[in-house]
Amino acid sequence: MKAVILDAATLGDDIDLTPLRDEVDELDVYAITSLSERIPRLAGARVAIVNKVILDAEVLEALPDLELICVLATGTNNIDMEAAKRQGIDVRNVTAYGTQSVAQHTLMLMLALANRLPLYQRDVVAGRWGESPFFCLMDHRTLQLADKHLVIVGRGELGGKVAQFAEAFGMRVSFTARPGNEANDDRPSLSDLAPDADILSLHCPLTDATRHLVDAALLARMKRDALLINCARGGIIDEEAALDALRKGRLGGLGVDTLPVEPPRNGHPLLAALSEPLNLIVTPHNAWITPEARANVVRLTVDNLRRWRQTGE
């Protein structure tokens, strides 16, 4: 059985692919694959292993030998699922591989924003500490996490882990009802919880119901010192509205690990704003990249291959 990895570079060069090689007769590994290289590289393969390479209907229809697509991530929006179904191609993803890693990153953003790290780091670099008339700087109001209210959107494994970490800091945690399904959920809606939130953290998928879930109207109802963290998907918040609120002092801090278009080759307003004196952190979609999490991706993909070969389930 021949398998092909089209974008192995997304796993990094320090992750052992031997477990995958042991599951197939032949494994071709490509670091990066362009759109024009997809069909020739997958020709004759029964298994395609991809992270973000787009496999649309045109590509799938040109690959009669393809039987399985293993996605090295949770999201499958890069695969034409209807076309795969029509052609009898099984699609399997991996989940919960980076729970510890992303939860840790979320808490890092939370702690850094609460302590106004971007602002104080800027002051130190500018030499303002050395100019202080007394021993410290205290120009930026910080936030003690103990007894503060963390509101989480997304009560999956990741949201639960973030809640566990937050509770260790003495925070009070609430989960919102699932966006788009509030009528069938006994939890309060985000709209109900937002005015009392000291921190709002997003851990839900990007869907029609969650696109711009946090918009200008919701931001206007939140506390002026509230922190907003998005380690889910770009576009769940209206990034420009959040930036406007931050600039106008109607938001205490903003931390994002994702943007609507990645990589942001044409820039983004949040990236341009990093040069401003704002309590703003943007990380390059790297919350998930601990070696342990990336090794989990390989392990779970091997499990998918084994189950497919043994049971077809």
Describe the crossing of helices 157-168 and 99-114 by its angle, rounded to 10 degrees.
40
From the list 58, 82, 262, 276, the catalytic residue is 262
| Catalytic residue (one of 116, 203, 233, 294) | 233
Hunting for tokens 């931001």 — which residue is that?
219
Tokens of 181: 């399904």
Domains of the chain: 2-95+291-310 (3.40.50.720), 99-282 (3.40.50.720)
Known active-site residue 262: yes
Is the pLDDT reported for residue 252 higher than 60?
A: yes
The CA distance from 121 to 107, in Å, is 18
Burial class (CB in 10 A: 0-12, 13-18, 19+), 25: exposed
233 is catalytic: yes
Taking only the tens place, the pLDDT of each residue in 120-154 is 999 999 999 999 999 999 999 999 999 999 999 99
Q: What are phi and psi of 231, to 5 degrees?
A: -110, 25
Mean pLDDT for the chain overall: 96
* Cβ–Cβ under 8 Å, residues 226 and 200: yes
Angle (CA) 5 11 12, round 5°: 120
* Across 288-307, average pLDDT: 97
Active-site hit among 122, 212, 250, 285? 285
- Strands in 90-92's sheet, in edge-to-edge order, are 26-29, 2-5, 47-50, 68-71, 90-92
Q: What is the pLDDT of residue 312?
A: 61
- Which tens digits make up the pLDDT trace of 154-186? 999 999 999 999 999 999 999 999 999 998 999
- Cα distance between residue 118 and residue 134, in whole Å: 21
Considering only CA atoms, give the Rg of the chain: 22
150 bridge partner residues: 173, 199
Cis status of the peptide bond prior to 260, with omega within 30 of 0: no
The structure's pTM equals: 0.92
Does 258 score more than 80 pLDDT? yes
Residues 102/78, Cβ–Cβ less than 8 Å? no
- CA-to-CA distance for 227 and 181, rounded, in angstroms? 25
With H, G, I as helix, E, B as strand and everything else as coil, classify residue 136: coil
Q: Provide the pLDDT confidence category of residue 10 given band limits of 50, 70 and 90.
A: very high
